[in-house]
Structure 1
Amino acid sequence: MTTDDKTPPPHAAPDWTIPQDWASYTPDEHAMWDRLFARQAEMLPGRVIPAFMEGLDVLRMTKPGIPDFDELNERLMKATGWQVVAVPGLVPDEMFFQHLSERRFVAGRFIRTPEQLDYLQEPDIFHDVFGHVPLLVHPVFADYMQAYGAGGLRAAKLGMIDALSRLYWYTVEFGLIRDGADLKLYGAGIVSSYGESIFALDDASPNRIGFDLERVMRSRYRIDDYQQNYFVIDSFEDLLARTRDADFRPIYERLRDQPAIDVGELAPGDRMFHRGTQAYALARTAS
């Protein structure tokens, strides 16, 4: 998501944006997008929140392969006033928040190789665009993303970016949502991953815990494997109501005096949808 480097690369603008240069993508790169898109679009129905599948149509371009941001942005602007901007890679925290607060979503322009089909640590254009953009068509979630960006700018001034980054991780990237009696996917890190799309809902290993803002802000996460805890929101409307225009300063002050909750750990008061076995994590540790 972000980098500690404060100076943009020479070929980037001061706001870290670069041209997408759609014409420079190779046939192999377009084929990789189409392969990934087809695989996820086939397996996600019934697993992902319906709003995601509805928003997926915004990515069905008039040209095959990787979406051309010019065409994509025309559609997004008409829907919710958002646009996607290309960046050379990870960007600084405050620049990331600034873009979100102005309804711009930053996306890497590179796409993974066949060797990285199922996993890569730095997000590529498939993760950024397939994973994130469909829900930017949803008015409430689009407002949440903008509110998060504004909140990030405030958190930066208070030295609490770590706490707020956990909120992003466990909602925007790896969130689950209630859909009647079922749980569904909505986090971009899950829906863009074939393996985690199955693991997050079906595997007995991870904990699935009701969303609590302060609890999430205390919860460490891992970037190199499937999550051990997932947090379940009731609705996008509820998520926005808990965060939009909220003054997090009292929460931040409480968090300064409390230890972080480790990856996979449960906490007093957790509202459990599923108490995980942690078998996957234990097996990985033992191997």
Structure 2
Amino acid sequence: MKTPLSPKSTSGLRGEYAGAGDDFTVEQDWQSYSPEAHDRWRRLYAAQSALAARYAAPQFLEGLAKLDSAGGIPRFDDANRVLQAETRWTLVAVPGFIPDAVFFDHLAHRRFPVTRWLREEHELDYLVEPDVFHDFFGHVPMLLDPRIADFLEMYGRAGEKAMAMGALDMLARIYWYTIEFGLVREEGGLKVFGAGIVSSAGETVYAIEDEAVLRLPFDPERVMRTAYSIDNFQQNYFVLDSLDQLIGSLVGLDFGPIYERWRHEQPLPAGQLQAGETPFKAVRLESLGERTP
């Protein structure tokens, strides 16, 4: 989630917040991107799209193709014409992290905040803050899937209750382990659809092929109780049986009693199997009949 330590605080954060509106949106100012930035985008796109072709969910690949953004940093206005026609979503440019309440409000109204700045050359392999490549390449293709589109609106509407009950961390873990770091079963194997994975060269391979990482069936309450890493590869992933499960398992679920039961408890450490749980084993691409280099 895009959340600074305090509203409109720029301490330690990248991005130009001074010109942001009350909703933290700014102009994309596409003309200001340098030729070097567009070249950096093209190289990032080429590398990640090649990995995505092997490891990403087909819904991600379909969305990526529709966006046609291999040639340089995309114009959000162009993407919005595609999104509006498909799922009624709109991209809005933001300086970087934004407050929780603002983030939830954007999602609840089918507006997806996208950071406008691009990482520097020395940050190609690792970046802590989300940039335009993470947000656009990682998130926007999945916004073209109606199930993800509807889930994100529902998630935005759930934010007010979580904040009122002091359970925002618990709700945030649903977003983290799905929209950012989600895995889904596809054609007998595992595929990535979370933006934090698919926009990272190292984690794309790690999330699917590493034999030591813990992968568990998606269960909302277990997810809301599980800690996560913000500065390293995840030690834990949750696997959806299909994208339909993302909404199907949450619609009608009363979050209030779950928040009451666990909000004052320490989260479960990531990567640790609990009693009675059965993990997924790593699924290598050779087992799916695909050739590996």
The equivalent residue for 2:164 is 157
Looking at structure 2, the residues matched to 56 and 135 of structure 1 have their Cα atoms a distance apart, in angstroms, of: 8
1:229-251 Cα deviation digits (max 9, x unpaired): 11101111111112235431011
Tell me if 1:144 matches 2:146: no
Deviation at 1:41, TM superposition (A): 1.2
Q: Is the 8 A contact 1:211 1:232 kept in 2?
A: yes
Name the CA distance, whole Å, in 2 between partners of 1:78 and 1:150: 22
2:113 and 2:205 map into 1 onto residues whose CA distance is 27
Q: Which residue of 1 is the match for residue 62 of structure 2?
A: 54
What is the aligned partner in structure 1 of residue 187 from structure 2?
180
Please, which runs of 5 or more residues in structure 2 have no aligned partner?
10-16, 283-293
Structure 2 residue 35 is the aligned partner of structure 1 residue 27:
yes
Q: Please, what TM-score do these two structures have when normalized by structure 1?
A: 0.92
2:197 is aligned to: 190
Name the residue aligned to 1:279: none
User: Please, what TM-score do these two structures have when normalized by structure 2?
Assistant: 0.90
Q: Alpha carbons of 1:245 and 1:33: their partners in 2 closer, same or farther (altered >3 Å)?
A: farther
Displacement, 1:34? 0.8
Distance 1:145 1:225, change over 3 A: same
Partner SS state of residue 45, structure 1: helix
**Structure 1: 4+ residue segments shifted above 4 A:** none
**Is 1:3 equivalent to 2:11 in the alignment?**
no
Q: Number of matched residues? A: 275
Write out per-residue CA displacement over residues 107-127 of structure 1, whole angstroms, 9 at most, x where no aligned residue: 111111110001010010000
Q: Which moved more, 1:166-175 or 1:40-49?
A: 40-49
Task: Give, as a single letter, the amino acid of the residue that structure 2 aligns with 1:175.
Answer: G
Q: Is contact 1:210-1:270 (8 Å) kept?
A: no
Q: CA deviation at 1:179?
A: 1.0
Q: Residue 286 of structure 2 aligns with which residue?
A: none
1:14 paired to 2:22: yes
> Among residues 188, 209, 229, which one is paired with 1:222 in the alignment?
229
Q: Of 115, 128, 151, which aligns to 1:121?
A: 128
Residues 144 and 244 in structure 1, CA contact (< 8 A), matched pair in contact too: no
- Is residue 2:240 matched to residue 1:233? yes
> Unmatched 5+ residue regions in structure 1?
276-287
Q: What amino acid does structure 2 have at the position aligned with 1:49? A: A
What SS does structure 1 have at the residue aligned with 2:55?
A: coil
Q: Relative to 1, partners in 2 of residues 1:235 and 1:223: Cα closer, same or farther, differing over 3 Å?
A: same
RMSD: 1.7
- SS in structure 2 of the partner of residue 18 of structure 1: coil
